[in-house]
Amino acid sequence: MSFNNIEFNNKLQSNNKKEAFEKKCDNLDGMVEFYINEIKKSFEKYKEEDIVNEDGSINMNNYMRKKNGHYSKEEVKKDRRLKDEKMQDWAKYFYDIDDNADEVYLQEKTKEYRDIKKAGNGEKLEKLLFVNLNKILAPDYFVMHSSEYDDLSNGVDFVIVEADTGIVACGFDSVYDNKGGDRYKTKVKKLRKQSEHHGTNLKYGFIFEKEKIIKKELTNLPNFFLNMNLEDIRKLEKDMNYLVGKKQKPNNLELGIFDKLVISLDEQLKTYSENKNINPKVKDNLKIFDFVLEKIKKNRDAMFDI
């Protein structure tokens, strides 16, 4: 075989791998979209499906007074600006940009940093966790993104919600950790201190009540951390069961990673429980999560006839 033929075959193989990877990305995005639509169905009977954004997060605009919420238009707008302000601060730190930098240059670098974050492992981790958890927890529970404000201000990426009652069992933050668990250990220390004060709040929260949804701030919630390293992210991205548009049982890899997450939640729950200085209201809400976690374990075992 000539060098040109070898080079052509190598390029062909490289293109095929690229196409397969892009197809996987499309399937992951498709599965994310599928579960977002499933979550919206939980709100349809209350005629509140608009409370869920297209990206699966809680729609802050839906909490304005004109939408039967409790916040003024100005307050919601202020909360929505937080993401842009944080992104700019992170970009300035990442690129070591001076406070007196040209505004146009700063905006360009902020957009560049936003694109880097979007393509990074943290963003991918959130998508994989979202799909994996909803696949296993449905139909009794669903996992949805919090509002952008609660993500950035209260450290809540996701909430676990009981599908029938709308009870938010807990919040949790996804942690990409590829440094031997250092970030995770730091987060657990923060969790312990947080539980001694007031837990975490969900400014843009809700509960289901009879024939309507009550939009309200939820306070004193326990907040947990779910971490995944680069190896698990790559394995899950490569070998997850990508069947878009259908409810599909998780495969052994997905189940194994889910079990790791449950073990982690058990350990964190123990950290909460052993803390004698825990806030009494957080302790009460912790009992709800303890019940939910045990139910999740039973559902997981029943799914696989264990």
Which residues are CB-neighbours of 116 under 8 A, at least 6 positions away? none
Q: What value does the mean pLDDT take over residues 27-53?
A: 88
Q: Give me the pLDDT at residue 238, please.
A: 86
Q: In this structure, are strands 223-228 and 168-176 parallel, antiparallel, or unpaired? A: parallel
pLDDT at 8 over 50: no
pLDDT at 64 over 60: yes
Helix (H) or strand (E) run with residue 84 in it: helix 73-94
Strand partners, 71: 64
Q: Give me the pLDDT at residue 174, please.
A: 84
- Cβ atoms within 10 A of the Cβ of 121, count? 16
Alpha-carbon span 202 to 193, nearest angstrom: 18
Helices (H), 138-229: 148-154, 182-197
More confident residue, 298 or 108: 108
Cβ pair 172, 138 in contact under 8 A? no
Q: What value does the mean pLDDT take over residues 182-207?
A: 78
Q: What value does the mean pLDDT take over residues 203-218?
A: 91
45 SS3 class: coil
Digit-coded pLDDT (tens) for 80-101: 999 889 889 988 988 898 888 8
pLDDT at 196 over 80: no
Q: What is the percent of the chain where pLDDT is above 90? A: 23
Q: What is the percent of the chain where pLDDT is above 70? A: 83
Q: Give me the pLDDT at residue 25, please.
A: 47
Name, of 48-57, 169-178, 238-247, the range with top average pLDDT.
48-57
Q: What value does the mean pLDDT take over residues 8-18?
A: 51
Cβ pair 259, 303 in contact under 8 A? no
Nearest of 74, 61, 116 to residue 94 by alpha carbon: 116
Cβ pair 125, 176 in contact under 8 A? yes
pLDDT at 286 over 80: yes
Q: Give me the pLDDT at residue 195, please.
A: 67
End-to-end CA distance of the chain: 55
Cβ pair 240, 267 in contact under 8 A? no
Residue with tokens 């608009």: 50
Q: Give me the pLDDT at residue 274, please.
A: 83
Cβ pair 221, 285 in contact under 8 A? yes
Helix (H) or strand (E) run with residue 143 in it: strand 141-145
pLDDT band at 6 (very low <50, low <70, confident <90, very high): very low
Cα-trace Rg, the chain: 21
